[in-house]
Amino acid sequence: MSNNTLILGLQWGDEGKGKIVDALAENSEIVCRFQGGHNAGHTLKVDGQQKVLHLIPSGILHPSVQCVLGNGLVLSLPALEKEITELEQSGINFNDRFYVSGDCALILPTHIAIDQVRDKSEGIGTTGRGIGPAYEDKVARRAIRFGDLQNMTLLQPRLEKLIAYHNKILVHLYAAEPIPLEDVLKELESHQHLVQKFHCITQDLLRGWVKENKKMIFEGAQGSMLDIDHGTYPYVTSSSTTAGGLSTGLGVGPKHIDSILGITKAYTTRVGEGPFATELFDENAAQLAKIGHEVGATTGRPRRCGWLDLKALETIVFINSVTSLCLTKLDVLDGFKEIKVCIDYDDQGAPIYKTLPGWKQDISYIRDFHALPQSAQDYILFIEHFLECPIDIVSVGPSREQTIYKK
Which residues are the active-site residues? 14, 42
Backbone angles phi, psi at 85, to 5 degrees: -60, -45
Q: Which amino acid is at 30?
A: I
Distance CA 11, CA 8 (A): 9
Burial of 307 (0-12, 13-18, 19+ CB in 10 A): buried
| Torsion, Cα of 362, 365, 366, 367 (10° steps) | 160
Q: How many CA atoms lie within 13 A of 298 on its CB side?
A: 24
Rounded to whole angstroms, the Cα distance separating 58 from 98 reads: 12
Supply the angle between the helices 152-168 and 109-122 in degrees, to the nearest 10: 20
Sorted by sequence, the CB contacts under 8 Å of residue 85 that are 6+ apart come out as none
Residue 45, Cβ neighbours under 10 Å: how many?
17
For the CA atoms of 17, 105, 301, 234, the dihedral, rounded to the nearest 10 degrees, stands at: -90
Rounded to whole angstroms, the Cα distance separating 345 from 327 reads: 23
**Given phi > 0 = left and psi -120 to 50 = alpha, else beta, which region is 213?**
left
341: left (phi over 0), alpha (psi -120 to 50) or beta: beta
Tell me which residue of 58, 69, 70, 52 sits closest to 28, measured CA to CA. Answer: 58
Q: Which of 219, 204, 192, 202 is nearest to 80 (CA)?
A: 192
CB 375 within 8 A of CB 358: yes
Exposed e or buried b per residue across 372-407, where buried means at least 16 C-beta atoms within 10 angstroms of its C-beta: bbebbbebbebbbebbebebbbbbbbbbbebbbebe
Give, as one character, the DSSP assignment of residue 180.
Answer: P
Among candidate residues 192, 197, 83, 73, the one with its CA nearest the CA of residue 143: 73
